[in-house]
A = this chain, B = another copy of it.
Amino acid sequence: MDEFPDIQARPSDSGFKLTRVGITGVRKPVSISRPGRVVTLVAETDVYVDLPADLRGSHMSRNVEAFNEIVEASARDPAPGLEDVCLNMARELLIRHEYATRAESRMSADYFLERETPSGVRTTEPFRLLARATALRGGEERLAIGVEVRGMNACPCAMETVRSLMIEEYPDAAESLRGDIPCITHNQRNITTVEVETGGEERVEADDLVELAELGQSARTLEILKREDEARQVLEAHRNPKFVEDVVRDILGLLLEKLDGLAGDTMVRVRCESEESIHKHNAVAERVTTLAELRL
């Protein structure tokens, strides 16, 4: 058998170009070089290129071939971040799909960092990395790194309402239900996402974003908590009661400082979703903006 027909390369008579054509849900182990170590992540990946109006199909197998090349390169010489792997992928896609004007790659992966409990026990905490990159034929490149962090938030509104209610119901304890002492409220798990998209030259460290997200929440969650540690975390959350709105704004403030040197067109997305303990639904706050707008 000599030659198979290249159906994808046949002209398309539709007259419609396509925004993105590619593959989703590819899973592969990818090595990245983190501060002081190399880690292997199981990346779940989507890649796309655009398709001109006059071409019937994209060559889908080139996507996985590009991926393999990038993964093998990452094994020999790990990129510093998952967003760099994405960018390398987007560049490779532009080379292999000569008809494309834009390539896009998205990866997410479980990611682990060491933390310490209040009493000094070391624990390995799971987070989620969200990376993406786009490369244009003309040379423009954008890349983004984001993190998803499970923390805890305690409601400031219910705390004050419960305080009033308790003062009524426990009048003999009223004096010690003063406003400077944390009071009962509902608290719950929340998922905080922080994502920063920069031009191709600038980089943001994912570990820093995890830290900012943890700082923004009422308290961080930890996988191991002995009795006293648990009490300290719970109390910290109640000394630090926050709406989802507060979490997002406090992280925006921290980001402004941390990303001080970055360009004004840097995109920032901060989102906090609280899995409300008193409702069956979730509460959410989000800001999507540029550094320039934040700096006003």
Residues on A lying within 8 angstroms of B by beta carbon are 1, 4-8, 12, 14, 16-29, 40, 42, 46, 48, 51, 56-58, 60-61, 64-65, 68, 71, 110, 112, 123-126, 150, 152, 156-158, 160-162, 164-166, 168-170, 172-178, 181-189, 219, 221-228, 230-235, 237-238, 243-246, 248-250, 252-253, 273, 275-289, 294
Contact = CB atoms under 8 A, between A and B. Distances in A.
A273 B225 CA distance: 19
B284 A21 contact: yes
B275 A123 contact: no
A253 B14 CA distance: 8
A48 to B, nearest CB: 7
A231 B249 CA distance: 25
Contacts of A182: 166, 184
A81 B248 CA distance: 34
A275 B286 CA distance: 23
Given A16-B249, A21-B284, A21-B285, 18 more contacts: A18-B285, A20-B285, A22-B283, A23-B282, A25-B280, A27-B280, A28-B126, A29-B124, A48-B284, A61-B226, A161-B230, A165-B235, A166-B176, A173-B176, A174-B176, A186-B233, A219-B278, A230-B278
A218 to B, nearest CB: 9
Given A123-B68, A275-B275, A252 B14 contact: yes
10 closest Cβ contacts across the A-B interface? A173-B176, A176-B176, A161-B231, A14-B249, A7-B157, A27-B126, A4-B227, A175-B176, A150-B280, A4-B161
Nearest to A227: B4
Nearest to A174: B176
A281 B18 CA distance: 20
B224 A68 contact: yes
Contacts of A287: 16-19
A235 B173 CA distance: 15
B174 A25 contact: no
Given A19-B289, A252-B14, A181 B173 contact: yes
